[in-house]
Amino acid sequence: MKALIPIANGSEEMEAVIVTDTLRRARWEVVLAGLSDGPITASRGVKLVPDAAWEQIDPADFDILILPGGTGGANLFMKHDGVQQALRDFDADGKWIAAICAAPRALNKAGLLERRRFTCYPGVEEAMPNLTRSDESVVVDGRLITSQGPGTSFEFALRIIAECDNPAVSDEVRRGMLL
Amino acid sequence: MKALIPIANGSEEMEAVIVTDTLRRARWEVVLAGLSDGPITASRGVKLVPDAAWEQIDPADFDILILPGGTGGANLFMKHDGVQQALRDFDADGKWIAAICAAPRALNKAGLLERRRFTCYPGVEEAMPNLTRSDESVVVDGRLITSQGPGTSFEFALRIIAECDNPAVSDEVRRGMLL
């Protein structure tokens, strides 16, 4: 499995790093794609060097598009034409999409949350009128996986592995991380 | 509170980033100090830009020294004269020391684990003859705090805040992270 994870200034570093590390433990290929040049400064000041610039990759090469949260990063995902187009393309192609914390707003901006069950960081749904947040840690609706925040990041990543790949692999990775 | 967190190639990125982010949510000053020049490549390939090089900081300016795990990073902490001296100085000065996963081996190298209660990633204790690992997620013995691995990183960070700073602040940060 190949996962594309955009990161931008203000992305939540725990959410980005927990998902990346956990998927790599499942032997997935993961690319952290930066929306700006050079290292990004995440929401609590951790500086991450992307594996590639967004412009250098082709989203069509990936099986799943995963958006970490962080208000600043999610705002940039809402404004970025490439990320918005990739979300619509993944949805149209029946490929997996996942988002956590504030990032479901970027899915909504791309028109992907109507008539879908989803969750997000409690309160973030107030910026999405007419939509109702499910109160589960992780919600799977078709090929859309959403989750709530830093404390649900491990469950989010392990569920992505279980749903898109193999529950046994997910369990093995869980045990190795002592969860 | 000022926390010094050394990072090196092979450090476990989730452990380093979860602790850094969680402590900053408690309004602690945290410095990720790199043992080599430029970004470090963590255990699952995430590239982190240190806040400073180890040589640029004075460990005496900090209240707590926290070692993330990852076998490769912990091996470098065992070999690094500056980190080993800082561990002995913090211990002699009665300042806080914390380590998770494979990093308690670096504490043992500095002579800090004899007659102390501690934990580490299960199996890591086999490299430390005559020492017995406690089977708790987080162990506090005096001003020494140890923990087991990625899945216990949030509890490790929250316990550090509760013990060294304020349990109410720790609880507030926990709730904000949805734990």
CB atoms within 10 A of CB A83: 23
CATH code for the domain of A105: 3.40.50.880
- Cα-only R_g, chain A: 15
Confidence of residue B150 (pLDDT cuts 50, 70, 90): very high
Q: Which pLDDT score, from 0 to 100, does residue A84 have? A: 98
Q: What range does the domain containing A126 cover?
A: 2-176
Percentage of chain A lying above the pLDDT 90 cut: 98
Q: Are A147 and A119 in contact (CB under 8 A)?
A: yes
Could you tell me if the ipTM is greater than 0.85? yes
Q: What is the pLDDT of residues A58-99, one digit of tens each?
A: 999 999 999 999 999 999 999 999 999 999 999 999 999 999
Confidence of residue B50 (pLDDT cuts 50, 70, 90): very high
Residues of B in contact with A21 (CB under 8 A): 12-14, 42-44, 46, 150
Residue A123: partners with Cβ closer than 8 Å, 6 or more residues away: none
Angle at B18 between CA B56 and CA A151, to 5 degrees: 160
Q: Which pLDDT score, from 0 to 100, does residue B149 have? A: 98
Q: Which pLDDT score, from 0 to 100, does residue A78 have? A: 98
Nearest to A13 among B17, B148, B178 (CB): B17
The one-character DSSP state at B40 is: E
B108 φ, ψ (degrees, to nearest 5): -65, -40
- Cα-only R_g, chain B: 15
Please report, as a single letter, which amino acid is at residue B143: R
Segment 150-169 of chain A within 8 Å of chain B by CB: 150-152, 154
Percentage of chain B lying above the pLDDT 90 cut: 98
Confidence of residue A117 (pLDDT cuts 50, 70, 90): very high
Task: Using the Cα atoms of residue B72, residue B137, residue A44 and residue A12 in order, give the sign of their dihedral.
Answer: positive
Q: What is the C-alpha to C-alpha distance for residues B32 and B48, in angstroms, rounded to an integer?
A: 9
B32 and chain A in contact, CB less than 8 A: yes
Annotated active-site positions of A, please? 101
Q: Which pLDDT score, from 0 to 100, does residue A68 have? A: 99
Q: How many residues are there in chain B?
A: 179
Confidence of residue B16 (pLDDT cuts 50, 70, 90): very high
Q: Give how many domains chain B has, as a whole number.
A: 1
What is the arithmetic mean of pLDDT over B95-118? 98
Q: What is the pLDDT of residues A26-51, one digit of tens each?
A: 999 999 999 998 999 999 999 999 99
